[in-house]
Amino acid sequence: MIRHLTRFLALFLASSLPLAAGANEWQFSGVERIVAVSDIHGAYEPLVATLRNAGVLDADLDWVGGATHLVIVGDILDRGPDSRDAMDLLMRLETEAEAAGGMVHVLVGNHEAMNLVGDLRYVAREEFAAFADEETEEERARWLAEYAQRKGSAGDELRREFDERFPAGFFAHRREFEADGKYGAWLLSQPVVVVINATAFVHGGLSPMITEIGLDGVNGILADELERYVENLEELYAAGVLTPMDNFYAHPRILQNYMPAVEDGAALIEAIEETRKLAESDMHAPDGPLWYRGNVACCRLVEEERLQSALDAIGAERVVIGHTPTQGRRILERFDGDIVEVDTGMLSQRYGGSGNALIIEGDRLAVINEESGEVTSPQPHPRQVGSRPGGFLSADALEALLASGEISNEREDAAGRTIVTVSDGSRRVDALFTKRANRETYPELAAYRLDRLLELDMVPVTVMRDLGRREGSLQFLPPKLMNEAQRSEAGRGSSANCPLPQQWSAMYVFDVLIRNQGRTPERMTYRTDDWQLILVGHDRAFGRGKDRPRHLETVDLDVGDGWKSALSALTDDVIEREFAGILDKRRRAALAARRDALLSD
What pLDDT score was predicted for residue 264?
A: 82
**Confidence (pLDDT) at 20:** 35
Q: What is the pLDDT of residues 180-224, one digit of tens each?
A: 999 999 999 999 999 999 999 999 999 999 999 999 999 999 999
Residue numbers in the chain where pLDDT is lower than 70: 1-23, 390-391
- Residue 212 pairs with which residues in a beta bridge? none
Q: What's the one-letter identity of residue 16?
A: S
Rounded Cα gap, residues 307 and 145, in angstroms: 52
CB burial string 133-150: b at 16+ within 10 A, e below: eebeeeebeebbeebeee
Q: Which residues of 468-503 are buried (b: 16+ CB within 10 A; e: fewer)?
A: eeeebbbbbbbeebbbbeebeeeeebeebbbbbebb
Residue 485 to residue 278: CA distance in whole angstroms: 36
Distance CA 591, CA 150 (A): 68
465-to-87, 308, 345, 404 alpha-carbon distances in Å:
56, 40, 38, 9
Predicted pLDDT of residue 8: 38
- For the segment 182-193, what is each residue's pLDDT rounded down to a tens digit? 999 999 999 999
pLDDT for position 170: 98
Cα–Cα dist 200/193, whole Å: 7
379-380 and 27-28 beta bridge pairing: unpaired
Angstrom distance (rounded) from CA 14 to CA 342 = 31
Quick one: angle between helices 585-600 and 500-513, nearest 10?
130
Angstrom distance (rounded) from CA 418 to CA 433:
5
pTM of the model: 0.91
**Which H or E run contains 463?**
strand 462-464
CATH number 3.30.360.10 is the correct assignment for the domain at 2-131+169-380: no
Q: Where are the domains of the chain?
A: 2-131+169-380, 389-600
Residue 390 has what pLDDT? 66
Contact criterion met (CB below 8 Å) for 209 and 306: no
Coil, strand or helix at 365? strand
Torsions phi, psi of 295, nearest 5?
-60, -30
Short-list 213, 214, 303, CA closest to 561 = 303
- HEC-encoded secondary structure of 473-510: EEEECCCCEEEHHHHHHHCCCCCCCCCHHHHHHHHHHH
Is the distance from CB of 510 to CB of 538 less than 8 angstroms?
no
Residue 373, classed as helix, strand or coil, is: coil
CB 368 within 8 A of CB 54: yes
Q: Which whole-number Å values give the CA distances from 311 to 212, 318, 587, in the listed order?
A: 11, 7, 40
Give residue 69's identity as a one-letter amino acid code.
H
CA 272 to chain centre: 32
- Cα-Cα-Cα-Cα dihedral sign, residues 231, 232, 237, 238: positive
How many residues would you count in the chain? Answer: 601
Instruction: Count how many Cα atoms sit within 13 Å of the Cα of residue 575 in the half-sphere of its side chain.
Output: 24
Return all residues near 462 (Cβ < 8 A) that are at least 6 apart.
402, 444, 445, 447, 448, 449, 473, 474, 475, 476
What residues contact residue 263 under an 8 Å CB cut-off, 6+ apart?
Answer: none
To 10 degrees, what angle do helices 2-16 and 223-238 make?
170
Residue 240: exposure state from Cβ atoms within 10 A (0-12, 13-18, ≥19)? exposed
**Distance separating alpha carbons of residues 555 and 73, to the nearest angstrom:** 41
Q: What 8-state DSSP symbol labels residue 63?
A: B
Q: How many helices (H) and strands (E) does the chain have?
A: 23, 21
